[in-house]
Amino acid sequence: MSTSKPSKSEEVPTLIVRDSNSSELLCYLEQIVPIEATDYVLLTPVDTPVCLFHLKDSGDPEIITTIESREPILDVADVVLQEHDLILIRSAVTLTVSGELEEPEPEELDETDLDDDSELYELLVSFKVNEEEYGLYIPLDPFFVVGKLIDGQATLVEGDEFDKIQPVIESELDDRDT
């Protein structure tokens, strides 16, 4: 008789979080943080979050923070990912990739510091569109999403509300750790 370790999906409940445009992202529920009669939730995406960068010949790669879901760049990314049996998902908050990703060996990890916040990324795929090069990178730091529960539904905390509540949530979580 063999025993298998349960997967994260069997251990941790999931929630669908919706943003103000009604886009959805399936997430694991990591923490519930009650603040002033509102239950805020700390979530992590079930699928792998990715960031799109414009790769330039000279200078540092530039992250593309706003992209329309019908953007032609994403159509090319779809085709490239399908060659690796991966699917690009245009979801709330971030782009995600679904499918079996190979876990890199730590010594093989080609970490790239691509932005001013010293976040590290791993290149997943690169591709060209109209002679311009782009890359989908996986952030190596944990990717958390903040939502709030309203009648059992998770709604993404965005904009000014996020700016106000983020330090309160961080403080609450720090208090729990001590």
DSSP letter string over 92-148? SSSEEEES-PPPPPGGG--EEE-STT--EEEEEEEEEETTEEEEEEEESS---EEEE
CA distances to 53, 99, 167 from 134, rounded to whole Å, are: 6, 21, 34
Q: Which two structure tokens, joined as six digits, stand for 8?
A: 């994260």
- Clarify whether residues 58 and 134 are in a common domain: yes
Q: Write down the pTM of the prediction.
A: 0.78
Average pLDDT of the segment spanning 33-53:
93
- Clarify whether residues 93 and 161 are in a common domain: no
Residue 80 in domain: yes
- Clarify whether residues 104 and 129 are in a common domain: yes
Q: How many domains does the chain have?
A: 2
- Clarify whether residues 129 and 170 are in a common domain: no
- Clarify whether residues 20 and 82 are in a common domain: no
Q: Which two structure tokens, joined as six digits, stand for 56?
A: 């330039």
Question: At a CB cut-off of 8 Å and minimum separation 6, what does 95 contact?
Answer: 49, 50, 51, 52, 67, 74, 88, 89, 136
Residue 1 in domain: no
Decide which of 132 and 104 is more confident. 132
pLDDT band per the 50, 70, 90 thresholds, residue 31? very high
Percentage of the chain beyond pLDDT 90 is 46
Average pLDDT of the segment spanning 120-148:
90
Residue 162: what are its φ and ψ, rounded to 5°?
A: -65, -45
- Clarify whether residues 74 and 132 are in a common domain: yes
* Mean model confidence pLDDT for the chain: 83
Nearest to 61 by CA among 105, 20, 10, 116: 116
38-47, 100-109, 130-139, range with the lowest pLDDT:
100-109
- Clarify whether residues 60 and 119 are in a common domain: yes
Strand pairing of 95-98 and 48-55? antiparallel
- Clarify whether residues 77 and 133 are in a common domain: yes
Containing H/E element for 105? none
For the cut 60, the answer to whether the pLDDT of residue 136 exceeds it is: yes
- Whole domain around residue 123: which residue ranges? 48-139
pLDDT band per the 50, 70, 90 thresholds, residue 2? very low
pLDDT band per the 50, 70, 90 thresholds, residue 6? very low
